[in-house]
Structures are given as structure tokens and as C-alpha cells.
Amino acid sequence: MAHTTELETARSQSVPTRTPWGQHALLHAVFFLMGGELFLISPLLPTIADDFGTSIPATALVVTAYGLTYAAASPILGALAEHVARRRVILLGVAVMVVGEILCALAPNLPLMVVARMVGGMGGALMGPAIWAFLAETAVPHERGRAISRGAAAYAGGQIVGVPLGTLVAASFDWRWAFAGVALVLAAVGASIAIRLREPDRVVVRPARAATALASSFRLWTLRTFRLIMLGNLCAQAARLGTYAFAGALFSTRFGLSTETLGLVGALVGIGSFTGSLLAGPVIDRWRAAGRREPVLCIGWGGLLAAALALAVLAPTSWVSIVGFMLAFAAGSAFFSTGQVFLTTELAERRSAAVSWNNSAMYIGTAVGTAVLGALGYGSTGFAIGAVVFAVAATTCSALLATRR
């Protein structure tokens, strides 16, 4: 029996009676900075490439390095950190990411810039799952949808600011100031978290060995519900983010939009993502209060995602295409938030480990969608069909989950 106890993960000691929205706001600020930092790089790529004397495709490795590091490290770090105090893990992740941002600002060449981005990805992979778990386990059950969705909205809000901010920095200042600024603000937020954030009321049972924690995390894949959630999220993000990876090329070649206008398009798409995340919260909570299951709601989000992506890619005018992308990002964000609530509820005893896998699925889905859709030729009918197929696959996973009791 002693061995069984060691395998147990953290259990909630009591059900929260009040959601600490003020503490959540501190963590939302971290997500906002993570989203802004990720999306501000796109308009900076030409400037960074010119400074380092490298091509834009080669310089784009600074984006890939962060995503791949996050995807690879998140499940491992999430499993190991499941049995450590949430506050401690979040602060450590913030510190690592601040170091990564400083290294980016000081990088003398592209290889060291890529390494710096990998350090930042490690920081994100460390604190991301812990933040999602904190939001879920400190929220009153009937407000969990809003708690998760507001976190996703904060990340999307960073996109709204990140793209135009990156464009402004590229036009007015040295690109290094963008990373230095993120490091400074993130350090200030980290200091506030150290002072104000209180550890959730939960019992932490530490495994005897790290291998035990990792084995427990990998055993999640033996659960059919978990596999369907992961596959659904992967396909939804492949559809949404894989398509958006080619939005700039689509708008510039088909509609002749300038670089400055593309920055505005990115902000509008971010608004769609922000709105979808924010509105999904109350909808999820009402849906759960009525005794309905989250996967049924995901079927609707998935159907809207498929239709919106078809509109975005095949639209005859730029504004119709923009509306399509905004709707697609609203639906995709709502799909992610709803799935995240379902995941953290169904696997409450292993929230951090489960969420870490879900975050990895998001980044892997983006890479898979970009590769597959890129091979089909952006803007073509085949490209549109591929995007819709990914969205339909996500909807199918939700339908299979909805039939399970």
C-alpha cells in the first residue's frame, strides 16, 4: 500500500468557495507576456535577419526553437513538477524565461539567439502547466470555465499587442529592446507573484523517484478519453494555426496587402481569438450547470472552425477572408478552452501532467498543420480542403468523447 501511495498525485484537499480572481490576474499577466513575446517576433524577422546577415527562413528558427523546446520539455517537466508547490514551479519558470529573454537581447549571432529561445521555451514549458493547473484547482467549480477561458484570452491578448508592437519596434528602435522590455516586465510580474500568490490548498504526495512520476504521466496515454482529447486538440490547432502560418503569404499575394496592413490583420485575428476565449467561459459554465458534457459543446466549435477556415482561404475579397480568420480563431480558441476545462475536470488528480501533454499537442499540431498544408500549396482548393479535414477530425474526436459515459 505504501508503494501505491507514492504513485498518487496531488489531490485537492477542499473545494474552493471563492475564486481568487486577483491572483489569477497575476498569472494572466504572465500568459499575456508569453503570447505577446511569441507573436512580436514575426514582424521582427527581417530586421533580425539583416542584423545577423542570415536569410529570413534561417532566422525563422528562433520561432521554431521555442515551440519545439516547449513541446518536448513540457510533458517531462509537467510530470516532475506535479508534486512540487505550484507557486515555486511558476516562479522558477518565470526566472528561466527572463534569462532567455535577456540572452535574446544580448545574442551576437543567430545560433546563440536560437539557444536563447530554447531557454525561453524551457521556462514556458515549466510554468505553463503549473499555471493552468492553478487556475483550475483554485476556481469555484461553477466558475472553472471562466477561469480557464480568461487564461486563454490573456494569451490571445498578447497576440493583439505583440504583432503591432513588433512592427513598431522594427520601424523605430533596435529589435533587441523588444526582448529586453519583455524581460523587464516579466521580472516585475514575477516579483508580484512572489509577494501575492498563495499556494492552492492541496495535498502533495511526492513519488520516491523521478522515474515514478514520469511513468505516471506516460500512463495517461492508456486512457482512451485522454488520447481523444489530445488528438482533438492537435487537429484543431493544425487546422487553425497551420492555416494562419500562411495568412501573410495569402494576403500579400492574392490581395496585395502591405506589411503594415498585415500587422493590422494579425491584430484583428488576435481580437477574434481573444473574443472566442472570453465568451467561451460563461458558455462553458452554463453548459456544465445544465448537466451537459463539454465534448458536445466542442462539436459546435469544431463545425464553426471548419466553415470559417473554408471561408478564410477561399474568400473573394480580403475583408471576407479576414472575417473568416477571425471566426476561425474565435472557434479554435473556444475549442481549446472547452477541451482544457474537460481535461482538468476529468483528470483532476493529474492536472499538471495532463495539461503539459495538451500544450505539447498544441505545438505539435501547429507544426503538423504547417507542414501538411504547406505541401498542398497555400490558397489552393487542396489547401482549403486540408484545413477543413483537420477541423472535421477534431470535431470527430469530440463526437466520440460525447458518446462516452
**Which portions of the chain are predicted below pLDDT 50?**
1-12
Cα–Cα distance measured from residue 193 to residue 323, given in angstroms and rounded to the nearest whole number? 38
Domains of the chain: 2-6+19-402 (1.20.1250.20)
The reported pLDDT for the residue numbered 9 is 40
Residue-wise pLDDT tens digits, 103-127: 999 999 999 999 999 999 999 999 9
Give the end-to-end CA distance of the chain in Å, rounded to a whole number: 30
Nearest in space to 394 (alpha carbons), one of 325, 327, 302: 302
Cα-Cα-Cα-Cα dihedral sign, residues 152, 349, 208, 223:
negative
Cα–Cα distance measured from residue 301 to residue 152, given in angstroms and rounded to the nearest whole number? 15
The reported pLDDT for the residue numbered 222 is 95
In this prediction the pTM is 0.83
Cβ-proximal residues to 91 (8 Å cutoff; 6+ apart), any chain = 190, 193, 194
C-alpha cell at 240: 487553425
